[in-house]
Amino acid sequence: MHSQSLQSTLLWSVATLLFIGVPILLWLVPPPLFSSAMVSIQRGDSISLAAEKLTDAGVVYTPEIIILPFLASGGEVVAGTYAFNQSVNAATVFERISSGSFGVPQGRVVIPEGFTNEQIADRLDKALDSETFSRDDFLTEAYPHQGYLYPDTYNFYTDASSEEVISIMRDNFTDKIASVQGEIASFEHSLADVVKMASLVELEASDYEVRRRIAGILWNRINADMPLQVDAAFVPLIGKNTYELTMADLKIESPYNLYTNTGLPPRPIANPGIESIRATVNPIESDDLYYLSDRNGNFYFAETLPKHAENRVYLDVGRD
């Protein structure tokens, strides 16, 4: 009887030691076979996803060894690309990803919503190493991706190539679009058309509800086979806004001239954010076909051309 009690005590002690000791070992002892890895944690990644990426790269033993300290501390993962050039313990990994210690020089680049590829290229050209990043190469490679380079705050390697930058921004677009995938799937237009329209809506207004109303008007015009007549399309085309355009400008021969062509532009005119995309697939339904804005950002809507003409006279939006 005494022997059985002693055996139970020993088993309990071993179990307790394993229960406490194994996590401590996983926390303090680096993975023995690890060599090096680069791990990219995107803005918006959950702690669980970040921990899985670190585990898949062999940086830590299990996701839980990173997840649990974050849950206990209430901290957050700092997005960016981390270089692990040697084996370190989980305690060090936790400290680095919670403080943003990337281990490699990175260029912080803020890409505002509605930026064109050219504007993005200018930002990147200032932040990244000129020996590895070429503005011209970026524009060539990014041309088919305009509209899908998600506007956000990024931490790129300073020696990142155009291809790497585009890949990261495209992946970010895919991640963000997932939140409205259901709305897009049930909408009557394709993702390609939605992004084209969202790029117009992005540049036309900043308020979400106004964007929804403008989207409704522009879809009405598409359905009526009317030119969209969106002045914002001239900003990337010739660098002029509504109050600078002349009658001659409105006759420029270009597939992006939405006064002389019907339908959507051949490709997005800029890179929209998620709110413009959401507004585009959730338009406010009305009979309006026209709208104008004043210099203070106030909008005026109309169902008929005569009423639109009245608004134009009232706002003194003329063309030379």
Measured distance CA(234)–CA(228) in Å, rounded: 12
Structure-token pair, residue 80: 């960016």
Q: What are phi and psi of 149, to 5 degrees?
A: -95, 100
| Per-residue confidence (pLDDT) for residue 23, from 0 to 100 | 55
| Per-residue confidence (pLDDT) for residue 7, from 0 to 100 | 53
Measured distance CA(24)–CA(299) in Å, rounded: 62
**Residue 37 CB neighbour total at 10 angstroms:** 15
Measured distance CA(302)–CA(293) in Å, rounded: 12
| Per-residue confidence (pLDDT) for residue 19, from 0 to 100 | 44
pTM above 0.85, yes or no: no
Low-confidence ranges of the chain (pLDDT < 50): 1, 6, 10-22, 320
Can you tell me which residue has the tokens 């194994």? 22
| Per-residue confidence (pLDDT) for residue 200, from 0 to 100 | 96
| Per-residue confidence (pLDDT) for residue 319, from 0 to 100 | 52
Adjacent-strand bridge partners of 83: 38
| Per-residue confidence (pLDDT) for residue 229, from 0 to 100 | 93
| Per-residue confidence (pLDDT) for residue 1, from 0 to 100 | 45
| Per-residue confidence (pLDDT) for residue 113, from 0 to 100 | 96
Structure-token pair, residue 19: 């229960």
Residue in 193, 191, 206, 218 with CA at minimum distance from that of residue 286: 218
| Per-residue confidence (pLDDT) for residue 3, from 0 to 100 | 52
